[in-house]
Amino acid sequence: MTDQEIIQLYNAGKHEQAFNEIVKSYSERLYWHVRGFVCSHEDTDDLLQEIFVKVWGALPTFRGDALLFTWIYRIATNEALNFLHKQKVRAALSLESLSGLLEKKVDDDPYFNGPQAERTLGKAIQKLPEKQRIVFIMRYYENLKYEDIAKILNKSVGTLKASYHFAYEKIKAELEKISE
């Protein structure tokens, strides 16, 4: 079912059915979206529950000014970032950095099934500053268009392209350093 059909279904008063269609359409996409940020299957699973609770709660306020896709991804991205900010405080209490914590999660992930190069790349991505990391993940892994990322993050396309460029250069330098 397309987003437009889902909205029409909701407006026709079939709220639960519309929500179920959103779940069918977006659950897997949002899983990988969030997984890229939090690096843990369990955390992603918990966050997805919270995200869809928020989506259900905010559906009555959705006026259709933005695309349903952009709106849902914005909720998911904000929830993932809030989660990471909490993780940052917890990491500080243990005298650790957030990037160190995330790198450890990449190392210890039991569901990792790629070559070592992918693990190295994953850890290099976690070393990036937050803004660059978000843009890189959304562009590189999810192949989202800059225009869509701009609407989700409420940033200009130019800023996003610059962030992606800097992220790419940093990751390249990190990988070269490791391969030496």
Partner 1 sequence: MTENSITNKMPYSVPEGYFDTLNARLSKIPQESVKPVREVESGSPLSEYEGAQGKAMAISFWQKFRPYVALAASFAAAIVVGSFIINLSLKDTVPENSYEELLLSDLIPVTEPYLIYGDSSTSASEELTDNDIEKYLIASGTSVELLGYTAYESDY
Q: What amino acid occupies position 25?
A: S
Closer CB to partner 1, 44 or 99, in the complex: 44
Q: Which is nearer to partner 1, 124 or 160 (CB)?
A: 124
In degrees, rounded to 5, the angle at the alpha carbon of residue 19 between the alpha carbons of residues 17 and 20 is: 65
- Among all chains, which residue has been given the structure tokens 């026709």? 12
Nearest to 30 by CA among 138, 176, 175: 138
Select 160 or 171, whichever has its Cβ closest to partner 1: 171
3-class DSSP assignment, residue 129: coil
Question: Given the rule CB under 8 A, which residues bind partner 1?
Answer: 15-16, 19-20, 23-24, 27-28, 31-32, 35-36, 41, 45, 48-49, 52-54, 56-63, 65-66, 71, 74-75, 78, 86, 89-90, 92-93, 109, 111-119, 121-122, 140-141, 143, 171-172, 175
**Complex with partner 1: residue 37 or 99, whichever CB lies closer:** 37
Residue (70 or 99) nearer to partner 1, CB: 70
Q: How far is the CB of 32 from partner 1 (least distance, A)?
A: 6
> What is the maximal distance between C-alpha atoms in the chain?
61
- Closest contact distance (angstroms) between CB of 156 and partner 1 is 19
Distance, C-alpha 126 to centroid of its chain: 13
- Least gap, CB of 158 to partner 1 (angstroms): 23
Q: How far is CA 172 from the centre of its chain?
A: 22
Least CB distance to partner 1 at residue 100 (A): 17
How far apart CA 172 and CA 128 sit, in angstroms, is: 12
Cα–Cα distance, 100 to 126 (Å, whole number): 8
